[in-house]
Amino acid sequence: MNSDRTHAVAPTELRVEGMTCNNCARKVTAALQAVPGVSTVKVSVEAGRATVRWTAGTAADAAALINALSRAGFPATVLDAEASGKSSGSAGGWKLNLWLGVICSTPLLLGEWVFRIGHESWFQWLAFALASVVQFVAGAQFYRGAWRQLKVGASSMDTLVALGSTTAYTLSVWLLFSGAGGHLFFLESSAIITLISVGHWLEANVAAQASSALKSLLDLAPAAALRLGADGREAETPVAELRAGDLIVLKPGSRVPVDGAVAEGHSAVDESMLTGESLPVDKAPGAVLFAGTANLNGRLVQRVTATGEATALARIIEAVERAQSSRANIQRLADRVSNVFVPVVVLIALATALAWGLAPAATRAAHDWLGQFLWAGHVPASPLAAALIAAAAVLIVACPCAMGLATPAAIMAGANAAARRGILIRDGIALEKAGLVTAVLLDKTGTLTLGKPALAGLWKAKAENGKQKAETLAAALARNSTHPLSQAVAKLSVESVSLEEWREVRGSGVQALLRVALPTEDDEERTEEIRLRLGSLAWLESLGVDTAAAREFVGGWSAKGASVLGFSMDRRLVAAFALMDSLKPHAAEVIRQLQRGGLKTFLVTGDNAATAASVATLAGISAENVFAGVRPEAKAELVKQLQQRGERVAFVGDGINDAPALTQADLGIAVSRASDVAREAADIVLLNSEIEAVPEALALARATLRTIRQNLFWAFFYNAAAVPLAALGFLSPVICAAAMGLSDLIVIGNALRLRRVRRRFADEIQK
């Protein structure tokens, strides 16, 4: 774990006023993300909070955050450590509005629609009293929100609700106090506020379900640990006080509080929260432990290696938060429309009022003609009442919330569904890019294959050094390299050999200097220096090593798909090792799923053509789509070539040597364990190293993109259909308020369908 994360700037917690819905949260997020130095933003409407994380090396600037929110119309204050743990009760405010509205609106509903006493004088005064409570107590949130937006020259959903309900309420007050008589609209004014409050309350609860995966992650790591003192005593210690190097005790059934390694004991650990893999992992001394995983059946002593934001769990949480708060490119259209939508709706409402007020006969004629094909609308007889009620209906029904929620709701649900499956998606843009992929380029070693080659054949020349075998020298030379082929050779011997000037030539092999003491005729020793090299035959040949003697051995094993490494002493080839890697059990099925989904599959490897062709045949990849002998730095150029052919390329690699290709690709997918979760080169990180998650991740992205498009279509269609119907008097303000809330719930509910999808993702890619 890098130390920069340990010394990262503490996040800034803000209390934000004026947020009434997730559309407001989107505006708050956009305003905060525009502040220089901000890394990620998490906004909670129900708590009325915003959490800002800063990029490494950036000083926290709370004043800049507050100024940005003020310009956006959302006053904010910084929370201290004590206050940040408490909820502001914003969700409770909607619940209060809900109960107050229901208690006051129900008698009005019964009187108007059941007992038909709406024209009784005593009932009208009762309606005035009850509606006033709703208007000025429950409606206060909407008025405050509209005023804050008005002060900065903006408008929001609160503006439409305040204008619509005030129009119906003011008209009713004027009719009541002037004695003009006729129908009063106190039910409509109170029902507007009540129904929209109900919608916001439901929206907050449904949105909370969408982020349940993140909340479950936050609850995984315990707040305290049993620290083992120098005297052997166990003491319960807050996790915040743990430091690298501390020893802690993990009892059966307990969760791992921080990252570390096993110092003592043996046990099985459930890592499903990290990898999505249900089978427990056996742990012995030296094994890595991750925060949030569960110790199942044995006592372990853990040595702490990382705490706080440096743990893998913290990085996962950060990645999910980043994905949830991000904006995809497809959202820009909705953003542009939403920014001008409210002023346009106000103009339409004014035009509606003028039409009903100044040309009532013509407008009513249009209403009656259209009613033949739709339904009978109930329009007040008075032109003034008809004008104001129709205008109020337009203001209410045209709320842009559904458009604002279309993309973030789907991204939140998609990111959480992915996190539950051990798939970390960087942001909404990554989800969008994944949904547009046309070709998948897979690295061979560690991606399609197990990445654990073993010796399959050995060729040796005449012994050049009687003291040490070629296998011993080759194993010692390979021991310091992390390359899978080198590690396979290193297992051939455990003998220690003193080597000097060891160096690894990336993509070629390793070399070192061996000093050998040789006796002379006068019984004195002289030292001979021998250059040892282990690597690809092409590299050895380029250095003047003659490999002709092993040509038959190399040809035979290469045809079988083995990788052959040569071992030379100076310019003499003394051994050749045939190493074979096994295809992952489900690799061929993964390729078939991708191909059934209409995706082109390609294989790239640094191995020779024969080995690559053998693996490709087993996996089901066409011979013309195989690229062999490609050095790590050339993989990015290969990705670029495919892109120039019009392909949108997803590169799947191990996330270690493939960073340039992962960056160059339209979508980078790192097949990696949790310790690599923060690798910045990849757009998607698969915490489970099995590639079955590749089609799953791509299919989820396609499903998310499809959901976003469905949501945007519904939001635009809803407004396109509802606004003219409301303007012509076919929708009352009460119906409009219910329809507006329903549109938000449809958008969120459609997004939540992504959470219920599990392993069906592999089939989704075919749609």
**Helical H segments across 44-156, by residue range:** 62-71, 90-109, 121-133, 140-151
Domain boundary at 580, 612, 636, which? 580
> Residue 501's domain is classified under what CATH number?
3.40.1110.10
Average pLDDT rounded to a whole number, residues 188-199: 76
Asked about 654 being catalytic, the answer comes back as no
Listed as own residue / partner, the contacts of 555-562 with beta carbons closer than 8 Å and 24 or more positions apart are: 557/456, 557/457, 558/608, 558/610, 558/611, 559/610, 559/614, 560/456, 560/614, 561/610, 561/611, 561/613, 561/614, 561/615, 561/618, 562/456, 562/457, 562/611
Residue 217 lies in a domain: no
pLDDT at 399 (0 to 100):
65
CA angle 424, 311, 755 (to 5 degrees): 30
Q: Which residues touch 675 (CB under 8 Å, ≥6 apart)? A: 288, 290, 312
Q: Across the chain, what does the average pLDDT equal?
A: 79
Provide the whole-model pTM.
0.58
pLDDT for res 762: 43
Question: Percent of the chain, pLDDT > 90?
Answer: 14
Look at the chain and report how many structural domains it folds into. 4
CATH number at residue 34: 3.30.70.100
pLDDT at 329 over 60: no
What is the maximum span of the chain, computed from C-alpha positions, in angstroms?
A: 133
Position 527 in a domain: yes
The helix or strand, by DSSP H or E, that contains position 215, with its residue range, turns out to be helix 212-218
The percentage of the chain sitting over the pLDDT mark of 70, rounded to a whole number, equals 79
Over residues 262-275, the mean pLDDT reads 79
Asked if residue 633 and residue 575 are part of one domain, the reply reads no
DSSP 3-state of 299: coil
Please check whether residues 45 and 73 belong to one and the same domain.
yes
Mean pLDDT throughout 644-660? 78
Q: Is 767 exposed, middle or buried (0-12, 13-18, 19+ CB in 10 A)?
A: exposed
* pLDDT for res 316: 61
Residue 278 pLDDT greater than 70, yes or no: no
How many Cα atoms occupy the beta-carbon half-sphere of 684 within 13 Å? 38
pLDDT (tens digit per residue) in 15-47: 888 777 666 777 888 889 889 988 878 787 767
> Do 661 and 552 reside in the same domain of the chain?
no
What pLDDT does residue 101 have? 85
Instruction: Say which DSSP state 55 is in.
Output: P
Active-site annotation holder among 158, 427, 443, 683: 443
Q: What is the pLDDT of residue 300?
A: 92
Query: Does residue 620 carry a pLDDT above 70?
Result: yes
Per-residue pLDDT, averaged over 564-580, amounts to: 91
Domain boundary among 60, 88, 116: 88
| Segment (H or E) for 229 | none
Q: Do the domain assignments include residue 237? A: yes
Say what the pLDDT of residue 303 is. 93
Confidence of residue 676 (pLDDT cuts 50, 70, 90): very low
Q: What pLDDT does 215 receive?
A: 57
pLDDT exceeds cutoff 80 at 85: no
- Residue 492 in tokens: 């051939």
pLDDT of residue 489: 92
Whole-number pLDDT of residue 58: 81
Mean pLDDT of the 715-727 span: 82
- When mean pLDDT is compared across 84-88, 156-160, 452-456, 582-586, the lowest value belongs to 84-88
Look at 282 and 318; give whichever has higher pLDDT: 282
Per-residue model confidence (pLDDT) at position 335: 55
Q: Answer yes or no: is pLDDT of 110 > 50.
A: yes
The identity of residue 348, as a single letter, is: I
Domain end residue (candidates: 310, 340, 359): 310
Mean pLDDT of 71-84: 74
CATH code for the domain in which residue 619 is found: 3.40.50.1000
- Residue 4's pLDDT is 39
Tokens representing 321? 């938060």
Examine the domain organization and report whether 548 and 467 are in the same domain: yes
| Residue 95 in domain | no
Do residues 24 and 60 lie in contact, with contact meaning Cβ atoms separated by under 8 Å?
Answer: no
Residue 105 belongs to some domain of the structure: no
Whether residues 470 and 567 share a domain: the answer is yes
pLDDT-derived band at 521 (thresholds 50, 70, 90) equals low
Based on the number of CB atoms within 10 Å of its own CB, is 504 exposed (0-12), middle (13-18) or buried (19 or more)?
middle
Whether residues 614 and 574 fall in one domain: no
Q: Where are the beta strands (DSSP E) in 408-491?
A: 423-425, 439-443, 454-460
Please tell me the number of Cα atoms within 13 Å of 128 on its side-chain side: 17
Q: Collapsing DSSP states into helix, strand and coil, what is residue 576?
A: strand
Q: Residue 179 and residue 173: Cα distance in Å, rounded?
A: 10
Q: Are residues 442 and 507 in the same domain?
A: no
Query: Does one domain contain both 544 and 629?
Result: no
Q: Is the pLDDT of residue 91 over 60?
A: no
- Tokens 């050779």 sit on residue: 489
The predicted structure's pLDDT at residue 601 = 93
CATH number for 272: 2.70.150.10
Question: Where does the pLDDT of residue 525 fall: very low under 50, low under 70, confident under 90, or very high at 90 and above?
Answer: low
Say which residue, 161 or 689, is predicted with more confidence.
Answer: 161
Specify whether 538 is located in the same domain as 590. Answer: no
* Residue 115 belongs to some domain of the structure: no
pLDDT at 326 over 80: no
The neighbour count for residue 282, using CB atoms within 10 Å, is 11
Give the integer Cα–Cα distance in Å for 429 and 666.
11
466 and 553 share one domain? yes
Q: Report the pLDDT averaged over residues 234-238.
A: 89
Same domain, residue pair 430 and 509? no
Does any domain span residue 712? no
Identify the residue with better confidence: 623 or 740.
623
Helices (H), 668-732: 693-727
- Cα torsion for 756, 758, 763, 767, to the nearest 10°? 30
Q: Are 401 and 22 in contact (CB under 8 A)?
A: yes
Report whether pLDDT(7) > 50. Answer: no
Give the whole-angstrom CA distance, residue 239 versus residue 257: 7
Q: With respect to residue 609, please indicate whether it lies within any of the assigned structural domains.
A: yes
Mean pLDDT of 63-69: 91
Cα 277 versus chain centre, distance:
19
CA torsion sign for 689, 692, 696, 697 is: positive
User: Buried (b) or exposed (e) across 676-709, using 16+ Cβ within 10 A?
Assistant: bbbbebbbbbbbbbbbbbbbbbbbbbbbbbebbe
Q: At 45, is the secondary structure helix, strand, or coil? A: coil
Would you tell me the crossing angle of helices 157-178 and 121-133 to the nearest 10 degrees?
A: 150
> What average pLDDT does the segment 295-300 reach?
87
Contacts of 552 (CB under 8 A, 6+ apart): none
- pLDDT single digits (tens) 362-399: 998 988 888 888 877 777 778 888 888 888 888 777 76
- For residue 755, CA distances in Å to 89, 210, 705, 707 come to 27, 8, 14, 12
665 lies in which domain range?
420-449+584-698
pLDDT value, residue 222: 81
439 and 526, same domain (yes or no): no
Among 46-50, 223-227, 482-486, whose mean pLDDT is lowest? 46-50
Assign 64 a pLDDT band (cuts: 50, 70, 90).
Answer: very high
> Three-state DSSP class for 577?
strand
